[in-house]
Structure 1
Amino acid sequence: MKHGDHDTVSDRSEPQRALHRMEQQNQALSILNELALDQSGTDEEKIRTALIRGADFLGLPVAILSEITGEAYLVRATNVPESADLYPGQLFSLGQTYCSILLRQQGCLAIHHMSQSPYRNHPCYRAFGLEAYIAAPVIIQGRTFGTLNFSSPDPRPHPFTDTEITFVTLLTKWLASLLEGQITARTLTKLVRQAPGMLYQYRQWPDGRSAFPYTSPGIRDIYGCSPEEVAEDASRVFERIHPDDLPAVAESIQTSSTHLSTWQHQYRVRSDRGWRWVEGRATPEKLADNSIIWHGYITDIDDKKRTQLALQESEAQLRRLFELSPIGIALNDLHTGAFLAVNDALLAPTGYHREQFLGLHPSALMAGDFPAFRSQVMRELNDTGRFGPYELTITRHDRSHYPALVQGLVIKGDAGQTLIWTLVEDISERKKVERMKNEFISSVSHELRTPLTSIAGSLGLIASGALGQLPDKVAQMVQIAARNSDQLKHLINDLLDMEKLVSGRIRMSIEPAPLFPVLAEAVEQLRTYAMDREVSLALAPDHPDRRAAFDRHRLQQAVMNLLSNAIKFSPRQARVDIRIRPRPGHLRVEVSDRGPGIPSSFHPQLFEKFAQADSSTTRDQRGTGLGLAITREIMTQMGGEVGFRTRVGQGSTFWLDIPRAP
């Protein structure tokens, strides 16, 4: 008799009813034990068996395992009569099922006669006419997954017993554990498929055998084989490893096995796209049979590895350049100034050992006003990311000095810190050669000055007619010779001035005085030259009483150099403007022309000796090429500066910054 048939239960005596309860309990436990212990069949077959056994025990023809998502009720599995139009995959609205009643309460729901219950107006009853219904929620990982329910279109004469309610509750829990395993496995499978590379278990036995008991499908991308091909024998995997890398891979596995330490290695594997770099990491576990099993992953790192190798090669090349460069190179921290690295070319002229040098602050190496120099460098680095070049005097270990050309640029370190590459070029030999050249020029100039003065004077007398009238052709040639001898005399005088300035043999007599009269005198001295070239000179009358500290003779020489250049390069009928502009700490003298301007390519050489722009339009305007070099040297020795701004085709403005009088 099915336990759902209770037509004679009420007629039994109490001992009979107790016996019936025991039989019912024993049968329920037997069903549950059989289901739990039976390991045969798939999970779906086990669920189907559970529904059949449950329906038979309860005497109810309809059994459903459902999955509920929001308001959607999905039929996962069924056991129903053939005539019933119900099958897995059907979807209902949750509100159209008795499960909506179940989910509003706790525990199991059991109704033996729906038409006599408070739920007789429920949509499910009106639609399907199910009279008997018992159900329990399927709880997985703390949330309601769905329901297990049994039902019948026929009412039961008596309510469901405690044994039947307990049976449904326990059967639901067993199904929940089965489903939880399914869900966990499905979730892991999805995650594994999304994981880069392959997840695996690798096992190695004491006799040397090895296999991959588990590998994710990603093994095809790494080793080009299937999980089944390596489940019993791992040799297929090792055949794909680069021969040069295989010994190191084997050694790393042996080390991990011996010490039970984490295995991690990078190596190359053959693929359809050639040799590719992979990286593996796994944790070993020793099993009872003394075999070792590793749990880990292997992922393709080819792009990253090749980038890393290229970067390492680039760094190695830079390191070789750094170490072998004939120019001194230092790496400094921008904020502290500390030396982080130096090459041999920088150490050699200083006399320091590397450890000594790295412990120095840059101020210990520089003779002069280091704070002012650092401020200037920081301004340039903030504006352009580089500084210099500057000619500095470097202090050696023995406190002697040598000249160096210093420049640098900002870079970012690996840790994101701001660093400076500094180039320090020892220019001692260059200075020595320059000094020898200057001495030679000075000596030759002195030797030439006396006879050249005599020649120029004689030619001047002849050209003026003082010695008699000359034929026209002869007079013309003598005038050319007189002009050229005058120009040569000016060149020699400029050379001697430059040599004296550079050697320090010209003593500056710097005194406070009004600036305007010096400019006015320079303008008057060049007025005739300007008129000959049809150029007007305009001295702005502003600030006539402003005072500065300067050597009057040398400042006038510097101003006249700028004025003569402006006149020389101005077109006819143009104007040259001269003005004074007060600036913080100094007075600025500006000389502006409307000439052709200066090409940007010539800017770096502008103040060098003998520097002249090579342009066909200026060939007839050339001078000695020493005027601006002399001007810069004069301003430097007076504690001032010289500079310019220019626009090609629109003219140039040269300026002198002269310290204010105290």
Structure 2
Amino acid sequence: MDAEAYRAQIYEIFTPPIEDVETRIDRGLELGTEYLDLSVGFFTRITAESQEILQAVGDHPLIQPGASCPLDEAYCRRTVELESPLAIQDANISSAVSETAVRTFDLGAYIGAKVSVDGVIHGTVCFADDDPRNRSFTDAEQFFVELIARLSGQALERQTYERQLTRREERLNEQEEIYRAVVDSNFDSVFRADTDGVFTYASESVRELLDYSPAGLVGQPITITYPDAEATDWAREKITQILNGEPAEVRDFPLETKFGSIVYSDIRGVPIYDGSVPDSQRTPDDIVEIQLMVRDASDRRQREGMISVINRVLRHNVRNEMGIIRGYAELLADELSEENAERADLICAAATRLLNLSESAQQIEQNRDTSSELEPLDVVPLVERIASECELRYPDDSILVDAPETAVAKTLPRIETALFELVDNAAKHGGDPASVDVEIEETDRWIVVRVSDDGPGLPELERAMLVTGKETPLVHGQGLGLWLTYWLVTTVDGETEVLDADARTAIEVRLPTPC
């Protein structure tokens, strides 16, 4: 065969995708020894310090797969430094090969070219013989060796890429399986839909939630789960928000099951972006899907409804009974002697406070998902009124108020109930008799009301409850009032804190200022 026919065979060897790289290189080495009429062909891996034979054809004892030597003792040392092949007709008289290499391998003729993979030197493709050649290597022969080296490098690049791609696919499959396992084991249902509002995925838990199979929903418009036009309009508004790049949440959203019944749900939706776009460059145009986390809220809705009914009945009865108590107490206050009239006034004040508390509870329930509209309110008259009432309740106690002429907070009238609970608690559970100090301070940000006493201090349960609002079955009596204080202060954007200083227990309420 002529040189062109051998080159055609080399291209054919490295073209079929069905063979692995090692087999192709072996076939290339065999064809090269035949074409060049040399007895040895080998493929190496070169590092900064050594040469390792990876594949070889021929019977040379030192040139076999797995053999290695220092790079300075190898014929290939000079090969990796050149851009073109290194061709040596007689190594015994060539300066391109070290004397040590010639003594070690005793090769007369040598031709080799470097192999690069992704721009980095990987090794060499070489051919050699024990005896020198009687003629120089031609340009065609040098091109042939360089062609094998280039095709080998390209084959290794493809192999590396395919292995990386396989590993990436394996990791993606593993992550997808983990994601699916998490989703399937979650109490929530997960849905994905494209930007046209068509389901592309539904988790297994959709069967229990909506009576659909996951496959039965994929390809269906998400409107199939909307029971009416009002729900459709509401959902369209939230989906538009998600497609603009903003997460959206809804509570108590009605969904229609496959058989026409209604399920109320809490839903959170987020956009899914094209993964090829970096986070810093993403815009709404890069959103490819939306993901919805759906939780069945039917039990919670039923429970809240039951509690709401109980609360309404309780408040109705409290208002009626307290109205009667206050009415008769006012009559008695007008008819009794001074000392007994004061006691009747205490009954009136207690009844009024319970009525106000009932109204506050109603307001809190009605506005539990929204912030109340706070208003400027001077807390000094509230505190002075509370102190006067507690002095009547506990005549042996000392209750002192240290306050400026005015201290206007941004709050609501129900804060009086919270402050009363603190002062009443200090007077009731302080020393015997109790010494209670109520201080009011104004800062740039807060109106601070500090109630301190010389009692034994707050037990840990009550202390934790007042700071976190966590009420337990062990918290009752004293603690229930503090629990009420915490929640009332919280509903007006205030804060509570327990302080220990100078052997006195102090509870601090901070209310925001209007500015």
TM-score by structure 1 length? Answer: 0.39
TM-score by structure 2 length? Answer: 0.47
